[in-house]
Amino acid sequence: MTSLNLPKRLKYGLLALIIAGSAASGYIYRGFPAVNEAKATTNVATISQEPHNTATITLPDFAEIATKQGPAVVNISVSGTVKTGFSGSHGFPQMDPSDPFYDFFRRFQFPAPQNNVPTHGLGSGFIVDSNGIILTNAHVVSDADEVIVKLTDKREFKAKVVGIDKLSDVAVLRIKAKDLPTVKIGDPQNARVGEWVIAIGSPFGFENTVTAGIISAKSRSLPNEGYVPFLQTDVAVNPGNSGGPLFNMSGEVIGINSQIFSRSGGYQGLSFAIPINVAMNVEQQLLDHGKVNRGRLGVMIQEVDQQLADTFGLKKPVGALVSSVEKNSPAEKAGIVPGDVILKFNGKEISRSAELPPMVSEMSPGTPATIELWRKGKSKTITMNVGEMKVASAKVKSSDSDKGDNGELGLLVRPLTPEELKQADVQGGLLVENVSDGPAARAGIREGDVILSVNGEKTGSIESLRSLIGKNGKRMALLILRGEQQMFVPINLG
């Protein structure tokens, strides 16, 4: 190598420039591949694994889907009015009697003013029929005085709310227009966890915003939303996205973006979509009948965990455990009892309890259904007619009475009074008044729970509870009433 005879300053300057240039070129290469490389493409990523060994991964073409399907996605703005005024009986807000100003304000006896304050909201929707039928969320348009639909070509239409189904959070709108672009409807049952999906909507009012992610889980059951098997995604969904479509990579709608899990009100990585097959069934019923008819068994169910599976003799924790049966319900007439585990419904296996309610609700009232049960260690198949959905309730109050302590469970219990029995609509039971450290506390028994049975045998006295505990050994399942719901709780005394 030939050595250049240069001044020291110039030599060190060139050396620094060469080092800096090498570092800079390395940074640019890693972060921003050269755009004039012959092999560079927009949809292919190359990952170098070993020398002379590369793997290519084809990425989805989001732009194509957004271009083709975007015109069928609409922006929805709603307006209405709400009455505001003081809630206190004397024209002032409710105050604590211990407040030092309570007596002072209490003397002013004039009626509270009521004002109609305008409200506004934004959401999304999509066109499913070229003659102006649009799907969105029920919570977007419920209680709205006026609904305006804006298309991507900037045309605006006043929409009529054809029908709302709050249980599924689906609403159907109609606008007076023809030859509109429509979305393609897909099948969410064919979707797989990990697949790419994109959402188009109006988050925070930013119209036709496209966000992408993957399907995180299927058949999610959310609190108070038991009749919808939600698709969970990590697609960025925010207020304003509600009612917008969720597309698969074939450009087909597989869901309606409905809810997010958030501590701040914004996106935090958990969004939930209503499967489009559920929504289309609701749409058809709303268009045909103006309401949605759902099937009902008349049972309360809970998840089967490993302890309950062991208690009931199941090989693995599957199915939906029946914790209570409503009186005069289709389930009671068919002979279903608490403690039965529903393994199959119309031939479809129930791996988790959340899968059963959507299956039942999709059936028309009066149609026959075949149910496979697990009862006392044996499989049993029954046929019954599905009823029409309704809601049952039961309430329990607490009062003083004879109390007893059971050392093995770690509970302080007492029998229910006649008034409480009537209110709870049960024939007997023991109210839990205190829970100390012990097996019951570890199993999740709480104060206010009512113990109805032990391993299927009813109990209404402290003596019978002790007898049943001694009889059933170290493992047992307590049937309890908690608020308005009955459930089995597995207890391990070992």
For residue 193, give the DSSP letter: T
In this structure, the answer to whether residues 213 and 144 fall within a common structural domain is yes
Same domain, 417 and 347: no
- C-alpha 14/C-alpha 461 separation (Å) is 95
Is residue 90, in this structure, part of any structural domain at all? no
∠ Cα 204 209 213 (to 5°): 105
Write the pLDDT tens digit of every residue in 72-118. 999 999 988 665 544 444 444 454 555 555 444 444 444 445 556 67
Average pLDDT, the chain: 79
251-307 pLDDT per residue, tens: 999 999 999 888 877 888 899 999 999 999 999 999 988 888 889 998 999 999 999
pLDDT tens digits for range 399-417? 334 455 556 777 888 888 8
| Measured distance CA(143)–CA(12) in Å, rounded | 75
Contact yes or no for 463/470 (Cβ under 8 A) = no
In a domain, 107, yes or no: no
What's residue 34's pLDDT?
30
**Each residue's pLDDT tens digit, 127-185:** 999 999 999 999 999 888 899 999 999 999 999 999 999 889 999 999 999 999 999 99
> Could you read off the pLDDT of 15-36 as tens digits, one per residue?
443 444 444 333 322 232 333 3
| Residues 270 and 220 occupy one common structural domain | yes
Question: Is the domain of 475 the same as that of 433?
Answer: yes
Residues 128 and 204 in one domain: yes
Domain count, the chain: 4
Distance between CA atoms of residues 389 and 493, nearest Å: 39
| 233 Cβ contact list (under 8 Å, min separation 6) | 197, 199, 213, 214, 215, 216, 246, 271, 272, 273
The share of the chain scoring above pLDDT 70, in percent, equals 76
Same domain, 180 and 303: no
The answer to whether residue 79 sits within a structural domain is: yes
205-262 pLDDT, tens digit per residue, is: 898 999 999 999 998 888 766 788 899 999 999 999 999 999 999 999 999 999 988 8
- List the domain range (segments joined by +) for residue 452: 404-492
462: CATH? 2.30.42.10
In this structure, the answer to whether residues 123 and 206 fall within a common structural domain is yes
Helix (H) / strand (E) element for 289: namely: helix 276-289
Domain boundary among 353, 388, 423: 388
pLDDT at 140: 93
Domain endpoint, select from 292, 315, 349: 292
Active-site positions read: 139, 169, 242
59-76: pLDDT as tens digits: 788 999 999 999 999 999
Query: Are 238 and 324 found together in one domain?
Result: no
Q: What is the CATH number of the domain that holds 174?
A: 2.40.10.120
